[in-house]
Structure 1
Amino acid sequence: MKPTLLAAALAITASAAFAEPETYALDPSHSQVVFSYNHLGFSTTYGMFSGFGGEIAFDAEDPANSSVNVSMPITSMLTGWEERFAHFMSPDFFGAADGDMVTFVSTGIDVTGDKTANITGDLTMNGVTKPVVLATELTQAAPHPMNGKASLGFDATATVLRSDFNVGKYAPNVSDEVEIVISLEASKTE
C-alpha cells in the first residue's frame, strides 16, 4: 500500500474510532413517562408525564458512550382526576409550584445486549437526588417516515420508592413502590 493511501486509511479509521455521540432531541408529542402504584390493595392507579424535553447523545458505535438528559415540570403530571392532581401538588406530597422539575441525568450505561442496556442516572425529584437504573431497549434507529430525520425509539422500565423522594405519605398502605414505564422518540438535531 502506498504511504499516502495508508495515511488516509489510518486517518479514516482514527476519526471513526473517535467519533462523537450524535445529539437527538426528544419528541415531546411522542414521549411519555407512565407511573403506577397499588392503592390500598384494591386497585392500580396510573399517572403520566408527557410533553417534556431532553436530549440523548447517542453513540451507535459505542452505546456505553451515550448519555441521556431529561427534565419535566412536576406540574405537568397527568393523573386523570383533578382532585388527585391537587392532592399530589399539595404539601402532603410535592408541595409543587410552577417551575419545579423532575430530572434524570445519566451517569453510566451498561450495555446488556444488541439492543438493551441498563442506564444508571441521577433522578432528582422534590429536592432529592437518588440513583435509578432504567432497563432500556432500543426499539428503532432509522429515518423517521414522516420527516426523514435520523430518529431513535426507546422503551425503559424502573421501580422507585416514593419515600426516597419525600413523597411517601400513606406508605405502605398505598404502595411505596412506583413502577415506571417510559417510551421515547428522539430525532437528530441539525
Structure 2
Amino acid sequence: MKSFFLAAALAAATPLAASESASYVLDPSHSQIVFTYNHLGYSTSYGMFSGFEGQISWDKQTPANSSVTVEFPVRSMLTGWEARFDHFMSGDFFDAADDEKVTFSSTAIEVTGENTANITGDLTLNGVTKPVTLAAKLNQEMDHPMEGKPWAGFDATATLVRSDFGLGAFAPYVSDEVQLMISVEAMQAN
C-alpha cells in the first residue's frame, strides 16, 4: 500500500477522473528544498527554498494517473548571507525578476521498492525546462494527529547540473553539480 501511495502522490502524466483521485496540498510550513554545492574545493555551501506551494492528485488504483506540481519564486531563496543572495540574483546567475518562478510538473514514475520510487518531471529553472528525476521515499502516511485528516511525508534527492539551466558561472571551480535534498508534507485537501 505504501508503494501505491508513493507512486500516486508523486507520479505522472495522464488526465485524472475526479472520482478516481484525491487532492493533496503541500504544507508550506513543513516543506523544504535544501541545495548544496562545492565552493572552490574548500567548503560545501548550502541554500534553501521553503514555504512553497504544490498540489498532488493521487489515484490509489492507478498510480500512473496521478500528478504533482510545485511552484515557488526564485527570490524566495535563503542563503544565510545577504551578499551571497544578492550575487545569486545578479546577472552572474539568475538575474531574477521579482515574479520569476521555479516550477516542477511530474511526467513519469518508476516504483523501485515498497516505499521508494523514481519520479521524473519537467523542471523549469532560469527560463530553461529540462527533465529531472527525483529519488523519492515515502516517510509516513496516516491521519495527522492534530489535524485529523490524511497526511503524508516524503523525502527526495536529485542532482542538477547548473550549466544545463544557464547558471554555470565559475564552473568548474564552483561545482557545476548541485545536490538537492527535498522534504515535504502534504495534507488531503478539503
Question: Fold match, TM over 0.5?
Answer: yes
| Residue in structure 2 matched with residue 152 of structure 1 by the alignment | 152
Per-residue Cα deviation, 1:87-132 (whole angstroms, up to 9, x for no partner): 0000110000111000000001111111111000000010000000
* Higher RCO (C-alpha under 8 Å, 6+ residues apart): 2
**What letter is aligned with 1:38?**
N
Structure 2 contact 20–61 (Cα < 8 Å) conserved: no
Matches within 5 A, 1:103-118: 103-118=103-118
Matches within 5 A, 1:123-134: 123-134=123-134
| Residue in structure 2 matched with residue 166 of structure 1 by the alignment | 166
Structure 2 contact 35–179 (Cα < 8 Å) conserved: yes
C-alpha distance in structure 2 between counterparts of 1:19 and 1:116, whole Å:
26
C-alpha distance in structure 1 between counterparts of 2:174 and 2:156, whole Å:
24
C-alpha distance in structure 2 between counterparts of 1:21 and 1:179, whole Å:
32
| Residue in structure 2 matched with residue 88 of structure 1 by the alignment | 88
Matches within 5 A, 1:1-190: 20-190=20-190
Q: Calculate percent identity across the aligned residue pairs.
A: 65
TM-score in terms of structure 1 length: 0.88
Unmatched 5+ stretches in structure 1: 1-17
* Aligned-pair CA distance for 1:21: 2.3
C-alpha distance in structure 1 between counterparts of 2:73 and 2:189, whole Å:
23
> Bigger shift: 18-27 or 40-49?
18-27
* Aligned-pair CA distance for 1:146: 1.3
* Aligned-pair CA distance for 1:74: 0.2
C-alpha distance in structure 2 between counterparts of 1:20 and 1:132, whole Å:
27
Structure 1 contact 92–169 (Cα < 8 Å) conserved: yes
Larger CA Rg, structure 1 vs 2: 1
* Aligned-pair CA distance for 1:149: 1.4
